[in-house]
Structure 1
Amino acid sequence: MKPCHLLKISLLFICFNSCSKNSTSDPNNLRNFNSELCLNISGPTAAYWDNAHGLPLPLTSIPTLSNPGQQFIHSQYPALGFIMPQGYSASEAQTGLGVNVFRNDNQVVWRYVPGLTAFNQINILDIVAAEVNQLFAFYGHTGNFTVDCEQNTTQPLGNFISSTSTRLIRFGNFTALVAINSFFDTSLGSTFASVSVASGPTAEYDNLVMNDFLPIHWQLLIIDNSVRDSDLDGTPDNQDNFPFDPNRQ
C-alpha cells in the first residue's frame, strides 16, 4: 500500500467538533470477522466495511447503545433521528440534508448526509476528496494517508449514472471509513449523492464500530416496535409510555 498525498479540493465544507469512552463488549462476536471484500482488515472494522457495501453481518443481537445519551432529530426530516452515546453531540449538516455527530474530545466523527444535490455533474471522486480533506482539516493532519481498502463502481441505470466510492484510510493515529453513493440524472443534469463518514482513533476503531457506529446506524433502519427498545429499559417501544426515558415506562 502506497501513501497518498493530500488532494486539495473545496467542494463541501463543514465545521466539526467532537466526545466518550468505549467498552470492549462484543455480543455479536465480530472480533473474528474476516472481510469478503478487503484482505487488509479483520474484526469489527472488516464487518463495518463489508456492511457499507450491502453485505449482511452475522449478528446474533441488534446493536444497541450501552450508554444512551442525547437524542437527535433533524428539524426538516424527523425520520433522521436517533439516540447518541453519552458524551456525544450533534448538529445538522451545513450542506445538504444530514447530520454530523461528534465526540466531546474531538477524536471521533460520525457523519451522515443522505441528501446532497448539485445542479450539475459532480465526479464522485471529487466528493470523496472533499470529505477526506474535511477530516484532515478537522484533525489538523497535514501529512500522507494510507488506503487500506478501496472500491469504485459506475453503471448506467436508465436516465441515471449510478456511482459508488468507498475508502478505508489511516492517517496519523486515526482510521476513517468514507462511503459515497451518487446518481447523475442525465435528463436534468443534476447530481444526487449520499455521504457516510465514520472516523476515530485507530486503537479504538473496532470498539467504536461495535459500541457507537453500528448502534447509531441500526437506529436508522426500520425495526418493528415490538423489537425496538430505544431507551434500553427492557420494555419494547410499543409497550413503553416513555420510550426514550429509561426511568419511566
Structure 2
Amino acid sequence: MTQPAPDSPPTTPLDRPWLVLGAGGHGRVVADLLLALRASVLGFLDPGLAPGEPVGLGLVCLGDDGCLTDPRYAPGAVYVANGIGSLPGQAAPRRQAFARLAESGHLCPPLIHPMACLAHQVAVGDGAQVMAGAVLQTGARIGHGSIVNTGARVDHDCRIGAHVHLAPGVVLSGAVGVGEGAHLGTGCAVIQTITIGAGAVVAAGATVRRDLPPGTTFHPAKGTPEP
C-alpha cells in the first residue's frame, strides 16, 4: 500500500529581492544566510548609518526603515528580513521591528539557512530564523519572530512560542515547551517534556531539569529560579 508523502520542511522564498532591517551583528548574519541561499539582497536599512555607507558582505546601507514607503520597496516588491537581534532583557526592539513590518505589510517569511537540518512535519512561523547548523526534528514548532541560532538543536515535538531566542548551541530534548519571549542562553540544555514559561531567561550553560515559571531567571551556579 502506497503511503502519503510526509509534509516537506519549510523553505525560504527567493522569488523577489530582500532587504535586511538592522545592520548590526545579527543583521549581517541574516544577510549572510540570504546570500548562502543565493537570494538577491539589496542592502540594509539602519537609522544609525548614512545612506551608501558600507556594511560588509559587499552590501551598503540604503537608509532607514522610512525607505519602506518607497514604491520600489513596497509589499509585494521585496521581502524584508528582521535583522534586529535579541538579548536577555533587551528583546523589545526586535519585537517592535516585527510589529512595524507586519503593520506595513512587509512581514517576512521564515529564513532557513541551507546548512540547517529540518525534518519533515516541522513548522516555522513568519519572521522566524533558523541559522546554520541548527537541527529541528519532526513535529517541532517554531513561533513567529523566533530565532533558532547557530547550532541549536530542537528535538521532536518541541513547541517554541513567538519571539523566543534559542542562543547558539542550545539543546532541547523531546517535547519541551518554551513560552513566548523566553531567552535560552548559549549552550544551555533542557531535558525532555520540561516547560519554560513566557519571558523566562535561562543562563548560558545551565541544565534545566524542572519546569520554570513565567518571568523567572535560572542561573546554573545557583540552581534555582529567581523572581
Which TM-score band (shorter chain)? under 0.3
Q: Which has the higher helix share?
A: 1
Bigger fraction of residues in strand: 1
Task: Give the structure-1-normalised TM-score.
Answer: 0.23
Structure 2-normalised TM-score? 0.24
Larger RCO (CA within 8 A; separation ≥ 6): 1
